[in-house]
């Protein structure tokens, strides 16, 4: 867990939305373009779930999961050329394990617990540093950075998101099955949208962008234009 004090004067751009909508790639492109910091909050939930499994902590043991958080020694390294953030746990690169489909499903399970979400708040807020922060997740605009100057919520039809995920996996040479991917996405959407604490929801002051018919560079352009309009 990092232990720096947030710089509350640093601008924050929040980027929320469901699984597979392209937040990760968009966040890395924005951070690279602006030379800002990037927070991949999904990677934190994924790391917690992965570490819990490794230590035989049950994913429904809320108190044990929350107690594990301060003990996690982790480092996140943005890889701009690969549009992703590498995850090092106790010095070991565990990015592949953390990004696996299983870990994504486990992350969604640990994310339902109020004590877990509460314990992760301060950690996530420490990423607010100069010259600015792109914060990617589900509740960045509603809970973690409610005072952010620019809030974006990306959407796309589940079928379109499943297609993107399928293409991504195929490109990496990983075997993929379209109906299974769609089923997993729908399950994760339902859990992320219906949990009691910080459900997946656009902030009232968020710009909602339907990316179904937009390329990633189109989405980045729309966001940069919106940021400029806000004079940030
Ligand atoms: O964005 P992702 O697929 O890496 O996120 C994995 C899971 O973590 C997601 O299904 C829900 C949870 N999550 C969350 O609840 N809040 C966040 N800010 C980020 C992720």
In short, whether 16's Cβ falls inside 6 Å of ligand 1 is no
Instruction: Read off the pLDDT of each residue in 125-139 and give the average, rounded to a whole number.
Output: 97
Ligand 1 pocket check for 22: Cβ under 6 Å: no
Partners of 134 in the β-ladder: 13, 38
Strand pairing category for 133-137 and 92-93:
unpaired
Q: Whose CA is nearest to atom 2 of ligand 1?
A: 42
Q: What is the pTM of this model?
A: 0.95
Residue nearest to atom 5 of ligand 1 (CA): 42
170 burial level (CB within 10 Å; 0-12, 13-18, 19+) = exposed
Taking the centre of ligand 1 as the mean of its atom positions, its distance from the CA of residue 130, in whole angstroms, is 25
* Res 2 pLDDT > 70: no
Question: Which two tokens mark 72?
Answer: 């996690």
pLDDT in tens, 32-55: 999 999 999 999 999 999 999 999
Our answer on whether the CB atom of 142 is closer than 6 Å to any ligand 1 atom is no
Per-residue pLDDT at 60 exceeds 60: yes
Q: Which domains can be identified in the chain, with CATH numbers?
A: 12-222 (3.40.50.300)
User: What is the 151 CA–ligand 1 centroid distance (Å)?
Assistant: 17
In 1-94, at which residue ranges do the beta strands (DSSP E only) sit?
12-16, 37-40, 74-79, 84-89, 92-93
What contacts 175, CB < 8 A, 6 or more positions away?
169
Cβ neighbours of residue 28 closer than 8 Å, sequence gap 6 or more:
38, 78, 79, 80, 83, 84, 85
Q: Which residues in 53-159 belong to E strands, given as ranges? A: 74-79, 84-89, 92-93, 133-137, 150-155
Q: Please state, for a pLDDT cut of 70, what percent of the chain lies above it.
A: 99
- Distance, in Å, from the CA atom of 69 to the CA atom of 27, rounded to the nearest integer, reads 24
Averaged confidence pLDDT in the chain: 95
pLDDT on residue 173: 82
Q: For residues 23 and 151, is the Cβ–Cβ distance under 8 A?
A: no
Q: Can you give the pLDDT at residue 17?
A: 96
CB of 138 sitting under 6 A from ligand 1: yes
154-171 pLDDT, tens digit each: 999 999 999 998 998 888
Give yes or no for residue 37 CB within 6 A of ligand 1.
no
Taking CA atoms only, the protein residue closest to ligand 1 atom 4 is: 42
Burial of 139 (0-12, 13-18, 19+ CB in 10 A): buried
Q: Which two tokens stand for residue 176?
A: 């993929």
194: pLDDT confidence band, cut at 50, 70 and 90? very high
């Amino acid at each position: 867990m990092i232990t720096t004090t947030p710089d509350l004067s640093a601008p924050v751009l929040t980027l929320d939305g469901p699984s597979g909508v392209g937040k990760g790639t968009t966040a890395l492109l924005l951070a690279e373009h602006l030379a800002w910091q990037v927070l991949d909050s999904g990677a934190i939930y994924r790391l917690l779930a992965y570490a819990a499994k490794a230590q035989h902590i049950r994913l429904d043991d809320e108190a044990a999961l929350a107690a594990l958080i301060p003990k996690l020694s982790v480092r996140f390294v943005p890889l701009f050329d690969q549009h992703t953030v590498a995850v090092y746990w106790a010095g070991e690169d565990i990015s592949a394990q953390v990004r696996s489909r299983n870990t994504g499903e486990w992350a969604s399970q640990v994310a339902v617990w109020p004590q877990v979400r509460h314990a992760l708040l301060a950690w996530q807020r420490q990423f607010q540093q100069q010259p600015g922060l792109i914060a990617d997740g589900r509740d960045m605009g509603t809970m973690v950075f409610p005072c952010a100057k620019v809030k974006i919520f990306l959407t796309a039809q589940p079928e379109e998101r499943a297609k993107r995920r399928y293409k991504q996996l195929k490109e990496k040479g990983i075997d993929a099955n379209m109906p299974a991917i769609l089923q997993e996405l729908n399950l994760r959407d339902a859990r992320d949208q219906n949990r009691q604490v910080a459900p997946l929801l656009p902030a009232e002051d968020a710009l909602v962008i339907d990316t179904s018919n937009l390329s990633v560079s189109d989405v980045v352009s729309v966001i940069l234009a919106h940021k400029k309009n806000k004079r940030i």
